[in-house]
Structure 1
Amino acid sequence: MQWLANWSQTRQPWAIVCLSAFALLLAALYFQHIQGHAPCVKCIYQRSAVIGIMFGALIPLLYPHILLRGLGLIIWGTSAVWGLHTAREHLLVIFPEGFFVPPCPFVPEFPAFMPLHEWLPAIFDAPGSCNDNTWQFLGMGMPEWMQVVFALYLVGWLVALVANLASISLSLKAAK
């Protein structure tokens, strides 16, 4: 546990999270702009969650102070939970369970002070349909894979949280 606690104070784990999220963003842009898979609103929300994870990891990567690691963990965890929730909603649109099908808006509903789909349409515009599930890999579509991705980010977040709490605990013990 000491090794993990010590490792959590370095930049390396934050770099792994940041780079993996950046790679996912590049993959999403590749699918959109090269492969021609137009993202829907739910896809854009999941993309936003990945960007949130990336920025959550970037903060302590640049300066791994204990408070900034805490802020990074909050942003990472919140983004991963929101992404998992949105991926699940997306799957309910594609594979409805019962009578309730969550609505899929036509335009992303970003806050009025931050209309990302207008500022950066190449990244945040959503011309696709939430029902489109044509891309498949190993029998799963994009929303199913994103559930796996966000679940893995949550497991990683939990490990990072425990490691950081252990680091704090070890520091307090050493100070006594």
Structure 2
Amino acid sequence: MILDWFTTAPRRILALMCLACIGLLAFGLYLQHVVGLEPCPMCIVQRYALVLVAVFTGLACARGSKGWITSWSVLALLASGFGAFTAARQSWLQWYPPEFAMCGRDFYGMIENYSISRAIPMIFRGSGDCAAVDWTFLGGSIANWSFVCFVGFALLLLVLLARSRRYVAD
């Protein structure tokens, strides 16, 4: 019954995913501006991935044609995969922190002062900021929960794309 929604109402599912991304972004801004947690470079990259998932799913649900939905859903799936990779890398850094935890440059300092080919490895190398666990919920850090959300979005998009052969406009 639930799998029928992926065939009969894909635009609604994509719209709900877009709203979920916006809600997660709002929660991240709440943690930053109200609670006072400063995002590390990997957190910022995850936010950009979440913005891309929101934009791509929003565009996918804008029109009812199968090609339009499929194209934007594939891009959203790629952005979800990238976000999951970044969150997994940060979770790994939190579980196995570097021996010498030093605070590196902030995200924008890396982008402004180095070429993109040097800045990207610096971001994924992590720093003491990326290995710190400042907030937890049910035993999981922000990076852990971010990974769960990105994987959930990717699974939903995979089911949507797999069932798109039986697409019916809603």
Q: Is the 8 A contact 1:14 1:61 kept in 2?
A: yes
Whether 2:66 is the aligned partner of 1:36: answer: no
The one-letter code matched in structure 1 to 2:62 is L
The one-letter code matched in structure 1 to 2:39 is P
The alpha-carbon deviation at position 98 of structure 1 amounts to: 9.4
Give 2:69's aligned residue. 69
Q: Per-residue displacement from partner, 1:103-138 (whole Å, max 9, x unpaired)?
A: x763256699xx9xxxxxxxxxxxx92122020111
Whether 2:163 is the aligned partner of 1:163: answer: yes
Aligned-CA RMSD value: 3.0
Whether 2:148 is the aligned partner of 1:148: answer: yes
Q: Aligned pair in 2 of structure 1 residues 68, 94: CA closer, same or farther (>3 Å)?
A: same
DSSP 3-state at the match of 2:164: helix
Give 1:7's aligned residue. 9
More helix, by proportion: 2
Q: Is the 8 A contact 2:15 2:58 kept in 1?
A: yes
Where structure 1 has 5 or more consecutive residues not aligned to the other structure, the ranges are 116-127, 172-176
Note the 1:108-119 alignment, pairs <5 A.
108=108
Q: Give the TM-score normalised by the residue count of structure 2.
A: 0.76
Deviation >4 Å, runs of 4+ = 108-112
Note the 1:65-144 alignment, pairs <5 A.
65-96=65-96, 106-108=106-108, 129-144=129-144
Distance in 2 (alpha carbons) for counterparts of 1:23 and 1:40: 20
Q: Give the TM-score normalised by the residue count of structure 1.
A: 0.74
DSSP 3-state at the match of 2:131: coil
Q: Aligned pair in 2 of structure 1 residues 92, 4: CA closer, same or farther (>3 Å)?
A: closer
Q: Per-residue displacement from partner, 1:54-109 (whole Å, max 9, x unpaired)?
A: 0111112222322221221122101110011000111122222899x9xx763256
